[in-house]
């Protein structure tokens, strides 16, 4: 349920509502737009006991009809901005994340960090626990890798995003990273979603290999109902009949998600297309679709990469792409002012 305040509602009136919410044993989330909207979190019956409409400054209350509630834009009409130190995701700027598929060693991740940073990235990606189709494929350096990526990110004043594959290693991954990535194969691993929800840490929830928009939003709800409002979505392509690309990057998911949820959305063109040469144009198009950020795979020597070499950009290609991305960022600022 949400409580929509009148346009003229005072600070005091809002505080009054919030304190009533607390008294009722519920929690609240504030969205500051033209109208302040107070979202109610907790037991439905407790919500219904109070006649909220009678409180001063309240315009109306509204049930959220969708199966996902706290994740929906109705619950929080304004964009949610995730803050990680001085980094803000979802505030209208473009957050750039880059790094290798797998962390292969300290030197490699250090070099990746340097390249990533020079191109303008503020978040370093890299996998230490790798979900691989075959049990015989390289499964990641695990804690050793986590230490390396932390060291590299710190050296270049970057944040770390890395995948957590199971609850057993959650504490370990959380210790070394700033953003917990939930991989596509785990989008509906509900127990893991609840576990990362409990950490309160920023979570990047990748779209499932054939996840629907609706399932994706409901998956986020598993995180958010644990009190964790630091969720970002990552569109990484969906599985279709087309084999010309690794997946089909669904950029229309960006504007569609923007209408349905208040959380930021990041585009991953690397997994989206899986072909090095096609990554830059899709990164550019991703920015143009309205994404809050990009996440791309880079490698100092893609041809020697232990995984995903075919879709990794080398330094030159990445630097070139980033010039285009920056031009696009400026264009989008202009576009966002058209009305």
Tokens representing 19 are 């304190």
Closest C-alpha to 220, from 275, 161, 263:
263
| Per CB under 8 A, 131 contacts a copy of itself | yes
Which of 191, 200, 227, 304 forms a contact with a copy of itself (CB under 8 A)?
191
Pick the closer one to a copy of itself by CB: 18 or 64: 64
Name which of residues 211 to 230 contact a copy of itself (CB under 8 A).
212-215, 218, 221-222, 225
Joined tokens for residue 161: 């995003």
Taken as a whole, the chain contains a residue count of 339
Size of the site for a copy of itself (CB under 8 A): 74
245 forms part of the interface with a copy of itself (CB under 8 A): yes
SS3 of residue 229 by DSSP = coil
Nearer to a copy of itself, 107 or 331 (CB): 331
Assign 61 to helix, strand or coil: strand
SS3 202: coil
Establish if 166 lies at the interface with a copy of itself (CB under 8 A). yes
Q: First and final CA of the chain: distance in angstroms?
A: 31
Least CB distance from residue 274 to a copy of itself, whole Å?
A: 10
Q: Give the residue, chosen from 67, 144, 154, 171, that forms a contact with a copy of itself under the rule CB under 8 A.
A: 67
Structure tokens at 52: 């909220």
Q: Would you count residue 259 as binding a copy of itself (CB under 8 A)?
A: yes
Q: Does 62 bind a copy of itself (CB under 8 A)?
A: no
188, 276, 310, 314: residue in contact with a copy of itself (rule CB under 8 A): 188
Which of 116, 121, 192, 295 is the binder for a copy of itself (CB under 8 A)?
192
Q: How far apart are CA 279 and CA 11, in angstroms?
A: 47
Choose which of 55, 256, 310, 317 interacts with a copy of itself (CB under 8 A): 256
The interface region with a copy of itself, picked from 11-19, 65-73, 108-116, 117-125 by CB under 8 A, is 65-73
182 is an interface residue for a copy of itself by CB under 8 A:
no
Contact pick of 12, 43, 53, 132 for a copy of itself (by CB under 8 A): 132
Q: Which is nearer to a copy of itself, 238 or 298 (CB)?
A: 238
Both tokens of residue 179?
A: 């953003």
Kindly write out the interface string for residues 269-298 of this chain, putting x where it contacts a copy of itself by CB under 8 A and - elsewhere: ---xx-x-xx--xx-xxxxxxx--------
Please identify, among the stretches 9-17, 27-35, 105-113, 166-174, the one whose residues bind a copy of itself according to the rule CB under 8 A: 166-174
Alpha helices in the chain (DSSP H): 11-23, 44-48, 106-119, 143-155, 170-176, 190-199, 213-224, 253-260, 269-273, 279-288, 315-335
Q: What is the DSSP letter of 52?
A: G
Q: Nearest Cα to 111, choosing from 312, 324, 298?
A: 298
Find out whether 317 and 325 touch, Cβ atoms under 8 Å.
no
* Residue 43 is a binding residue for a copy of itself (CB under 8 A): no
Binding of a copy of itself at residue 181 (CB under 8 A)?
no
Measured CA distances, 308 to 147, 169, 209 (Å)? 22, 23, 16
Q: Smaller CB distance to a copy of itself: residue 140 or 202?
A: 140
Query: Rounded to an integer, what distance in angstroms lies between the CA atom of residue 339 and that of residue 324?
Result: 25
Q: In what order do the strands lie in the sheet with 36-41?
A: 27-32, 36-41, 2-5, 58-62
Instruction: Establish if 244 lies at the interface with a copy of itself (CB under 8 A).
Output: yes
Site string for a copy of itself, 320-339 (x = CB under 8 A): x--xx--xx-xx--xx--xx
Contact flag: residue 134 with a copy of itself (CB under 8 A)? yes
């Amino acid at each position: 349920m949400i409580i929509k305040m009148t346009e003229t509602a005072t600070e005091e009136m809002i505080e009054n509502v919030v304190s009533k919410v607390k008294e009722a044993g519920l929690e609240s989330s504030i969205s500051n737009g033209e109208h302040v909207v107070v979202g109610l979190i907790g037991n439905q019956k407790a919500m219904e006991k109070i006649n909220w409409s009678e409180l001063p400054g309240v315009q109306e209350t509204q049930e959220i009809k969708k199966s996902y509630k706290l994740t929906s834009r109705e619950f929080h009409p304004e964009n949610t901005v995730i803050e990680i130190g001085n980094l803000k995701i979802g505030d209208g700027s473009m957050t750039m994340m880059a790094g290798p598929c797998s962390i292969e060693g300290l030197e490699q991740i250090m070099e990746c960090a340097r390249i990533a940073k020079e191109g303008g990235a503020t978040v370093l990606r890299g996998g230490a626990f790798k979900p691989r189709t075959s049990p015989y494929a390289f499964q990641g350096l695990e804690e050793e890798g986590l230490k390396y990526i932390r060291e590299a990110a710190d050296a270049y004043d970057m944040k770390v995003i890395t995948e957590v594959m199971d609850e057993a290693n959650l504490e370990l991954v959380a210790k070394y990273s700033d953003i917990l990535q939930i991989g596509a194969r785990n989008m509906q691993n509900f127990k893991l979603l609840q576990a990362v929800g409990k950490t309160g840490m920023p979570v990047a929830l990748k779209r499932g290999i054939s996840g629907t928009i609706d399932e994706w939003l409901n998956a986020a709800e598993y995180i958010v109902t644990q009190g964790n409002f630091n969720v970002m979505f990552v569109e990484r392509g969906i599985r279709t009949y087309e084999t010309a690309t690794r997946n089909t990057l669904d950029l229309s998911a960006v504007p569609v998600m923007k209408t349905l949820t208040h959380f930021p959305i990041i585009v991953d063109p690397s997994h989206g297309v899986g072909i090095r040469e096609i990554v830059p144009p899709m990164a550019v198009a991703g920015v143009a679709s309205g994404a809050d950020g990009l996440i791309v795979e880079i490698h100092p020597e893609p041809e020697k990469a232990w995984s995903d070499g075919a879709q990794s950009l080398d330094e030159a290609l990445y630097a070139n792409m980033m010039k285009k991305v920056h031009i696009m960022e400026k264009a989008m600022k202009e576009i966002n002012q058209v009305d």
